[in-house]
Amino acid sequence: MTKPDDDRIAAALVGAWRLVSWTIEYPASGRVTQPFGAVPEGLLVYSADGHMSAALQRPGRARLSRADPSAVSDAEKATAFAGYLQYSGTWSVADGNVVHAVELAMNPNLIGTRQVRQVALEGDRLELGAEEPLEAPGQARRHRIVWRRARRSETGSAG
């Protein structure tokens, strides 16, 4: 049984969202990074039937040198991979958090995982947060991903 707040959050999430910023904070050092730069690009979609898809990228990614991706070098593929993040699956809201059950992902390590994100909604602004443990014992970093509701007439930079 869902809680009333979870139902309110779920209803507010349905639709499309454009990426505003993605920062990673390292509490132990105070360092803050922007994995895809100061103005990243992305689209997050939550469907009413419980499916979701997220795609984020560094703006201005270089095009591959060949039309056939299998004909480019491994180094070129790695560079393309490093500037892009995508996953999709199903979603639900529990205890005020949105939970992404990953079915497909560019990074195969995400497949089969549950990505739990803290939700902060204010008007057309959505902030998703997550703590990620690091390999060093007791170390973690915090992701802050800010989105704004997409407008029907809007297109991304790829047009």
Q: What is the DSSP string of 64-114?
A: PSSSSGGGS-HHHHHHHHHTEEEEEEEEEEETTEEEEEEEEESSGGGTT-E
Average pLDDT over residues 108-118: 97
| pLDDT at site 152 | 78
H or E element: which one contains 142? strand 140-149
pLDDT band of 159, cuts 50, 70, 90:
very low
- At 49, the pLDDT band (50, 70, 90 cuts) reads very high
pLDDT per residue as tens digits for the range 63-105 = 999 999 999 999 999 999 899 999 999 999 999 999 999 999 9
pLDDT at 45 over 90: yes
Q: How many percent of the chain have pLDDT more than 70?
A: 94
Answer yes or no: is pLDDT of 137 > 90.
no
pLDDT at 157: 52
